[in-house]
Amino acid sequence: MKREEPLWRRYLRFFGPDVAADVDDELAFHLDMRERDLVARGLTPEQARAEARRRFGDVETIRHQLRKGDSRRLRRTRRIEYVEELMQDLRYGLRTLWQHRGFSAAAVVTLALGIGAATAMFTAVDAALLRPLPFREPSRLVSLVSIQVPFAPGGNRSDDNGNTPDLVSVRAMTDLFEQAATYAFGGLNLAGDGEPLRVAVGVVTPNLFTTLGVAPAVGRGFSQEEERPGSARTVILSHGLWQRRFGGDSVLGRRLELSGKTYEIIGVMPRGFGFPQRSDLWIPLTVPTTFESFDAFRGWLPSESIARLRDGVSPEAAAARLRDAWLRLPAEQRRYRNNAEQVPFVPFQAALAGNRQKPLLVLLGATTLLLLIGCANVTNLMLVRASARRREIAMRAVLGASRGRLVRQLLTESLLLSGAGALGGIAIAFAGLGVMRLLLPVEMQSVAPATVDLRVLGFAVLLAGLTGLLFGLWPAFGAARTDVNETMKSGGHASNHRGAGRLRRALVVFELAVALTLLSGAGLMLRSLGALLAVDPGFEPGRVGALEMTFARGTGPGAGAARLRVMSDALDRLAAMPGIEAAGIVNDLPLKGGVSVSVRAEGASEAAETPFARYLQASAGYFQALGIPLISGRLMTPADTDSAPKVMVINQTLARTVWPGQNPLGKRIHGFGPPGGPPEFRTVIGVVGDVRDGGLDNDAPLPQMYFPVYEQYPINVSLVARGTLDTRSLLGSLRRAVAEADPRQAVYNVRTMDEVVAASVAQRRTNTQLITAFSAAALLLAIVGVYGVVAYGVAQRRRELGIRAALGATSSDLARLVAREGLAMAVAGVVLGLAGAYACSRVIASMLYGVTPTDAATFVLAPSLLLVLVVGATLVPARRAARLDPTEVMRAD
Partner 1 sequence: MPEPVDLLRGTLDLLILKALSWGKAHGYAVARWIEQATDDALQIEEGSLYPALHRLEERGLIESTWGLSENNRRARYYTLTGDGRRQLKQESAMWSRFARAVFAALDAPASPAVTT
Interface residues with partner 1 (CB under 8 A)? 1-5, 22, 25-27, 29-30, 32-34, 55-59, 62, 65-66, 69-70, 73
Closest by alpha carbon to 507, among 780, 774, 778, 786? 786
CB 786 within 8 A of CB 512: yes
Choice between 4 and 332, CB closer to partner 1? 4
Q: CB neighbours of 163 closer than 8 A, spacing ≥ 6? A: 169, 328, 329
Instruction: Name the minimum Å distance from CB 43 to partner 1.
Output: 16
Q: For residue 731, which amino acid is it?
A: L
State how far the alpha carbon of 348 is from the alpha carbons of 352, 371, 756, in Å.
6, 32, 29
Strands in 252-368 per DSSP E? 255-258, 261-268, 281-284, 303-309, 345-347
Angstrom distance (rounded) from CA 81 to CA 87: 10
C-beta of residue 600 within 8 angstroms of C-beta of residue 679: no
CB half-sphere exposure, 124, CA atoms < 13 A: 31
Q: Is 511 helix (H, G, I), strand (E, B) or coil?
A: helix
Least Cβ distance, residue 51 to partner 1 (angstroms): 11
Q: 6 vs 674, which CB is nearer to partner 1?
A: 6
Count helices and strands (H / E) in the chain. 28, 21
Shorter beta-carbon distance to partner 1: residue 32 or 642: 32
Q: Three-state SS for 140?
A: helix
**Residue 13: CB minimum distance to partner 1, A:** 11
Based on CB atoms, which residue is closest to partner 1, 59 or 319?
59
SS3 587: coil
Q: Whole-number minimum distance, CB 83 to partner 1, in Å?
A: 19
**What phi-psi label fits residue 290: left (phi over 0), alpha (psi between -120 and 50 degrees) or beta?**
beta
Give the nearer residue to partner 1 in terms of CB position, either 66 or 871: 66
- 23 or 147: whose CB is closer to partner 1? 23
Rounded to a whole number of angstroms, the minimum distance from the CB of residue 21 to partner 1 is 10
Residue 24 and residue 777: Cα distance in Å, rounded?
65
For residue 68, the minimal CB distance to partner 1 (Å) is 8
**Shortest separation between residue 36's beta carbon and partner 1, angstroms:** 8
Which residue type, as a one-letter code, is found at position 631? I
Amino acid at 181: A
CB 213 to partner 1: min, Å: 55
How far apart are CB 59 and partner 1 at their closest, in Å? Answer: 7
Give the Cα separation of 515 and 866 in Å (integer): 9
**CB of 6: closest distance to partner 1 in angstroms?**
8
Q: Shortest distance, CB of residue 74 to partner 1, whole angstroms?
A: 11
DSSP 451-492: ---HHHHHHHHHHHHHHHHHHHHHHHHHHHT--HHHHHHTTT
Helical residues (DSSP H) of 100-188, grouped into ranges: 101-125, 167-172
Q: Looking at beta carbons only, is 1 or 454 nearer to partner 1?
A: 1
Complex with partner 1: residue 29 or 681, whichever CB lies closer: 29
User: For residues 15 and 336, which CB has a smaller minimum distance to partner 1 in the complex?
Assistant: 15
What's the distance, CA 580 to chain centroid?
A: 42
User: Is the CB of 69 or the CB of 153 nearer to partner 1?
Assistant: 69
- The residue among 3 and 95 lying less far from partner 1, judged by its C-beta, is 3
Segment (H or E) for 739: helix 727-741
Q: CB 141 → partner 1: shortest distance, Å?
A: 59
Nearer to partner 1, 48 or 819 (CB): 48
Considering Cα of 367, then 369, then 375, then 376, what sign does the dihedral take? Answer: negative
